[in-house]
Amino acid sequence: MIHYLRLIRFPLIFTAIADSWAGYLISLPAPFLDLQLSLLTLLAAVSACLYAAGMVFNDVADAGRDARIHPERVIPSGRVKLGRAVLLGLLLSIAALASSFCISFTTLLIAFAIVLLAFLYNNLLKRYRIAGSFAMGLIRGGNFLLGMSAFAQFQRMETALFVFPSILAVYVFMLTMISTLEEGESRRELFMTLTLCLALSVVGVNAFLARAHAALFLSLLTATGLVGEAILLMKNFSPASVKEMVRVAIVAIIPLDAIMVVGQGSPRESLIVFALILPLLIAFGAMRRAPLDA
């Protein structure tokens, strides 16, 4: 079981759930009055399955390459057979689409677009730094849009709200650009520049929030954490530094989502999103302690 959890990057699934929950919460005119737990559950299922399927098919697409340079990974090591991984990815994709249809037809269309984009990324676009990063940004922004589409009045929603999935897309574009520095010649200056852009996007979101004062402290704290982590990693810069920075930046998506919710609603709603960092950290700790040959 642990090998399948590693294959789907289980701890990071909670960041995908945070995206769709944040999209849903900022769309509600009176969040706690209109909040439907059934929709939160369905959104969690859709986002989790989409993310997990994307991770599985990423490793399936890289199986040949990983056999040469990362033989310890679950597919090339034989811990998960390639055929079983493909089947798992297909089942997760079907589950995501079926769950999205239970929300609305619009949600189904967005979920299908994410599946298509993920396929293009895994099999073609990730070979190109900018195109691949752009695709990943669209995928994450689309996941946020999934949550927004769960709101019954989605098609009559204020256009100003659509800036938030765009901000998330920009953040993930920068994050993916950083991840491309892990292989090949690592460039310290570009690494730091992209990290500063990440931090600026976290702070810059306040310009679009209805209650920016409420979110300012959390955004400054998150941005400072990102820059501080990058400075520490620069001391002994290596591909491993890039990998660690990417991991930290992905985890920081949860505070970024919470910032958007608190700035549009109230601290109570943001806690629903921010609380997802707890199971993420617990899962990280448990999986790090688990032996590779378990």
- The pLDDT tens digits of the residues spanning 59-69 come to 999 999 988 88
Report all structural domains of the chain as residue ranges with CATH numbers, in order of start.
2-289 (1.10.357.140)
**Mean pLDDT, the chain, whole residue set:** 92
Torsion sign across C-alpha atoms 180, 185, 186, 187: negative
Q: What is the pLDDT of residue 196?
A: 97
d(CA 168, CA 150): 18
The 3-state DSSP class for residue 223 equals helix
The stretch 263-268 carries a mean pLDDT of 80
Q: Model pTM?
A: 0.95
Token duo for residue 2:
């642990």
17 closest CA partner among 43, 35, 37, 39: 43
Q: How confident is the model at residue 186 (pLDDT cuts 50, 70, 90)?
A: low
* Residue 32, token pair as written in the block: 């706690």
Q: Which of 159, 164, 249, 267 is nearest to 206 (CA)?
A: 164
Structure tokens at 152: 């019954």
Q: What is the pLDDT of residue 31?
A: 62
